[in-house]
Amino acid sequence: MTLGNKIQEIRSARGMSQEQFGEMLGTTRQTVSKWELDQVVPDIRKIVAISKLFCVPTEELLLHVTTFENEGVRFSCGVYRNSKSEIVETEKLALEYYCNEDKSVMGAKLYEGNGDVKSLIAVCEHRSAEKKTFYAYSYEDETGTVTAIGNSEAYKEILGAAFDRKCLDKMECLERFYVNHGDVKIHTVKEAGIRQCLEEWRKGVEAFVSDHYLFVNVCTGKTEYVYQIKTENDNIYCGISYNIPFELGLRSYGQFFRLRNFGDNSESFCGFRCDFSYRMPEEEEGADYVELGGNTNGQCGYLCWFVKRYKNEEIVLSGCGEEEYVFRKNDGKAERFA
């Protein structure tokens, strides 16, 4: 039993709501919910307060709990796939991209938590029969108030559902990696060169959420996952790509999942496709072959983004169109990968 289970058991035995329980402890309903889901561990003062207020010895609260069993053991992150879905899981997130048999339904879900315990915080799903992309996500403001945002009440209602990690046991594991908690050095260009720095600096999780925008990018080094919801014009973009660094920049080996919705989908960049049988192809011309002269499909048929300029701790690539793709050694990351 986890500490969260024990707290829920104490609260339920007294017939109290999470809000009532939180008021007695000087905290919010949202915080109590996170305790019970094992997303957050109460600090020692709250544990003592629970013990005193509800006449439960602290040793009974903490004895034989499984919450701390894996303390000091690295969480094994990974990429998993079957014929209808692909999941990337890190310590704090799980991203699931999926479709049904005839691909009339395509979707992407985002779970957040810690280790083995994660819950659904965002979902977007395109249904071709209805010609519409539905979405919902939860947003917590500075006061701790959680609001469900989206264009569908039905999808708002499924937020908070638990991530079932048992499904990973039935899927093929494509990659394994670990979170870098500061024990692995991040190099500069002078120390390691452009290729290695692009790999090191990109690996990790970028995340941002507000009441009108949610963005998550997960890069394992080989595979890149994008999850974006902008409420204005129902601007949704979820994609999976193979983007690999080489000495002169980044080379794309194709995007095999794309859920791109904007307004009425009349824009040329909108589109929906998925192919979970796709593998990164072998290069016909060798690992170091490129065709110089711009960001166009080369002889191998893969898109390249070349270095435009660089400094010791910053690399700028010529992006699509007139864009610049900027990568920095010290870019803020919610998680960095080793």
Q: What is the per-residue pLDDT across 14-25, written as a single tens digit (0 to 9) for each?
A: 989 999 999 999
At 147 the pLDDT is 94
- Maximum C-alpha span of the chain: 74
At 282 the pLDDT is 73
Same domain, residue pair 186 and 317: yes
Domain that holds residue 207: 179-282+292-335
- Of residues 205 and 296, the one with the higher pLDDT is 205
Residue at 117 is within a domain? yes
At 67 the pLDDT is 63
Residue 285 has pLDDT above 90, yes or no: no
User: In this structure, what DSSP letter does residue 37 have?
Assistant: T
User: pLDDT tens digits, residue range 205-238?
Assistant: 999 999 999 999 999 998 999 999 999 999 999 9
Domain final residue pick, 172, 199, 227: 172
Burial class (CB in 10 A: 0-12, 13-18, 19+), 186: middle
- Residues 84 and 109: their CA atoms lie apart, in Å, by 14
45-59 per-residue burial string, b: 16 or more CB within 10 A, e: under 16: ebbebbbeebebeee
At 44 the pLDDT is 86
The region of weakest confidence among 125-134, 235-244, 314-323 is 314-323
320-330 per-residue burial string, b: 16 or more CB within 10 A, e: under 16: eeeeebebebe
Same domain, residue pair 38 and 91: no
| Predicted confidence band of residue 298 (pLDDT cuts 50, 70, 90) | very low
Same domain, residue pair 224 and 331: yes
Same domain, residue pair 90 and 109: yes
Same domain, residue pair 168 and 185: no
User: pLDDT tens digits, residue range 312-331?
Assistant: 999 999 887 788 999 999 99
Same domain, residue pair 164 and 184: no
Tell me how crowded residue 76 is: count the other CB atoms within 10 A of its CB.
12
Residue at 68 is within a domain? no
Beta-bridge mates of residue 42: none
Same domain, residue pair 272 and 211: yes
Residue at 128 is within a domain? yes
Which SS3 state, helix, strand or coil, does residue 190 take?
helix
**Average of per-residue pLDDT across 300-321:** 85
At 34 the pLDDT is 86
Residue at 287 is within a domain? no
- Of residues 111 and 300, the one with the higher pLDDT is 111
- Of residues 325 and 73, the one with the higher pLDDT is 325
- Of residues 151 and 283, the one with the higher pLDDT is 151
Phi–psi pair at 47, nearest 5 degrees: -65, -40
Same domain, residue pair 330 and 184: yes
Same domain, residue pair 198 and 310: yes
Residue at 70 is within a domain? no
Total domains, the chain: 3
At 1 the pLDDT is 72
Residue at 324 is within a domain? yes
**Average of per-residue pLDDT across 72-101:** 93
Residue at 69 is within a domain? no
At 228 the pLDDT is 98
The region of weakest confidence among 38-47, 122-131, 159-168, 218-227 is 38-47
CATH number for the domain that contains residue 48: 1.10.260.40
Which parts of the chain fold into alpha helices (H)? 3-13, 18-24, 29-36, 44-53, 58-62, 153-157, 189-202
Residue 41 has pLDDT above 70, yes or no: yes
Same domain, residue pair 187 and 317: yes
| Predicted confidence band of residue 252 (pLDDT cuts 50, 70, 90) | confident
At 187 the pLDDT is 96
Phi–psi pair at 110, nearest 5 degrees: -125, 120
Which of 314, 311, 256, 299 lies closest to 280 in space, CA to CA? Answer: 256
| Predicted confidence band of residue 92 (pLDDT cuts 50, 70, 90) | very high
Which SS3 state, helix, strand or coil, does residue 166 take?
helix
**Average of per-residue pLDDT across 131-154:** 93
Chain centroid, CA 335 distance in Å: 10
Cα–Cα distances in Å, from 213 out to 156, 258, 334? 16, 19, 17
The region of weakest confidence among 92-106, 233-247, 277-291 is 277-291
Residue at 67 is within a domain? no
User: In this structure, what DSSP letter does residue 286 have?
Assistant: -
Same domain, residue pair 42 and 166: no
Mean pLDDT of the chain: 89
Determine what percent of the chain falls in helix, strand and coil, rounding each to the nearest 5: 20, 40, 40
Give me the percent of the chain exceeding a pLDDT of 90.
62
Same domain, residue pair 84 and 46: no
